[in-house]
Amino acid sequence: MRRAALSVPSNIAEGAARQTRKEFMNYLHMAQGSLSELDTQLEVAKRLGYLAEEAWTKLDGHLDRIDKMLSGLIRHQRRYKALSGKRDPSLLTPNGGSRTMKSEILYPGAFPMVRVYLAEGETVKAESGAMVAASPTIDIESKMEGGFLGALSRKMLAGEKFFFQTLRASRGAGEVPTVPGEIVIMDLDGINEYMVQKDGFLAGAEGVKIESRMQSLTRGLLGGEGFFLLKIGGTGPLILNSFGAIHKVELKPNEEYIVDNSHLVAWTTTTTYNIEKASSGWIASLTSGEGLVCRFRGPGVVYIQSRNPGSFGSWIRQFIPVSE
């Protein structure tokens, strides 16, 4: 079992050091074979009474997660192999010819923009009206993500735009703006998925998948984000924006963290959360100005924004003249 377990990362490491994608894929499949071998040995050990049921359940959960990660890595390699045709680009570096959307954040801080570099034939999807400027080689299209019903559900249920922009280029760069606030760029691996509050999505690679997901009745009524959120997964870069600065909180298994629901931007689907009073009593919760909060439990990542859009709106309204 030790030999099979050690063979999994060893095959991945050796394959990554090879010079061709085909060899890398072969070693990834060997790593999967070693993982299946270990799974079988653990099953035999359990049935023979050498391994307790509780220990087997824990190990089986770890194997399942590793298998999903391996499968996602193999799908990722197959995808870029299909995109690159007969060429055999570098395995790990984005500048080696592989068609991975590259981007950079301009003017970090309160008023940033994202510059996206597109290879020939590559596309990026963005929130409707997001583009500021583009090179003349970029074509702008309008697309309903998930078809008519998917677009309708986002518009009517999640409060998002009906159409996404699709920017397609032979070469060049486009610049995408955002609301006053920070931008964060993350790379989706085909395994981890994120729940994103409305207006949090800015842009993403063609391989990024966006769906509307319904929350429970309690969370929809009390959570402050409505009944529907965006569930975002797939592969490639994902760009989120916020109102104010973005703070990343990494939670270990069973670690808890309390967040004001108006400050939520996104969180991984591996986390769980409950809505509860900010204080021990309702009067203290309401008079403190917090009301209800979200208690997250790890493992996972939570992104929060430093500013509260609702509070900012209330502050602005006091300076707007009221017509009689």
CATH of the domain at 35: 1.20.1440.60
Average pLDDT, the chain: 74
Tokens linked to 240: 């989120």
Q: Note whether 51 and 120 are same-domain residues.
A: no
**Strand segments (E) across 22-148:** 102-106, 113-117, 122-127, 133-134, 138-143
Is position 179 within any domain?
yes
Q: How many CA atoms lie within 13 A of 160 on its CB side?
A: 31
pLDDT (tens digit, 9 = 90+) per residue, 223-249?
Answer: 445 446 889 999 888 999 888 888 899
Q: Which of 50, 83, 116 is the last residue of a domain?
A: 83
Helical spans, DSSP H, in 48-146: 53-83
Name the domain count of the chain: 2
Mean pLDDT of 131-160: 58
According to DSSP, the residues that pair with 106 across neighbouring strands are 113
Q: What are phi and psi of 60, to 5 degrees?
A: -65, -35
* pLDDT at 90 exceeding the cut of 60: no
- Please, which residues have CB within 8 angstroms of residue 200's CB and are 6 or more apart in sequence? 230, 240, 241, 242, 265, 266
Q: Note whether 57 and 130 are same-domain residues.
A: no
- With left for phi above 0 and alpha for psi between -120 and 50, is residue 243 left, alpha or beta? beta
CATH number at residue 115: 3.60.160.10
Q: Note whether 145 and 172 are same-domain residues.
A: yes
28-37, 166-175, 279-288, range with greatest mean pLDDT: 28-37
Specify the range with the lowest mean pLDDT, choosing from 118-132, 194-208, 263-277. Answer: 118-132
Q: Note whether 166 and 73 are same-domain residues.
A: no
Per the listing, tokens 């920017």 go with 167
Is position 165 within any domain?
yes
- Please, which residues have CB within 8 angstroms of residue 300's CB and are 6 or more apart in sequence? 251, 267, 268, 269, 270, 271
Per the listing, tokens 């209330």 go with 314
Q: Note whether 245 and 143 are same-domain residues.
A: yes
80-84, 265-269, 315-319, range with greatest mean pLDDT: 265-269
Is position 115 within any domain?
yes
What percent of the chain has a predicted confidence (pLDDT) above 70? 70
d(CA 315, CA 71): 49
Q: Note whether 206 and 261 are same-domain residues.
A: yes
Q: Note whether 194 and 240 are same-domain residues.
A: yes
What percent of the chain has a predicted confidence (pLDDT) above 90? 10
Supply the pLDDT for residue 63.
87
Q: Note whether 23 and 108 are same-domain residues.
A: no
Is position 126 within any domain?
yes
**R_g of the chain, CA atoms, integer Å:** 23
Instruction: For the full predicted model, state whether its pTM sits above 0.75.
Output: no
User: C-alpha angle with apex 29: 26 to 35, nearest 5 degrees?
Assistant: 145
Supply the pLDDT for residue 170.
57
Q: Which of 26, 53, 83 is the last residue of a domain?
A: 83
* pLDDT at 54 exceeding the cut of 90: no
* pLDDT at 268 exceeding the cut of 60: yes
Binning pLDDT at 50, 70 and 90, where does residue 162 land?
very low
Neighbours of 285 (CB within 10 A): 17
Residue 66 belongs to what domain range?
2-83
Q: Note whether 73 and 193 are same-domain residues.
A: no
CB 76 within 8 Å of CB 99: no
d(CA 143, CA 24): 35
Q: Note whether 54 and 140 are same-domain residues.
A: no
Is position 90 within any domain?
no
Q: Note whether 256 and 141 are same-domain residues.
A: yes
Is position 97 within any domain?
no
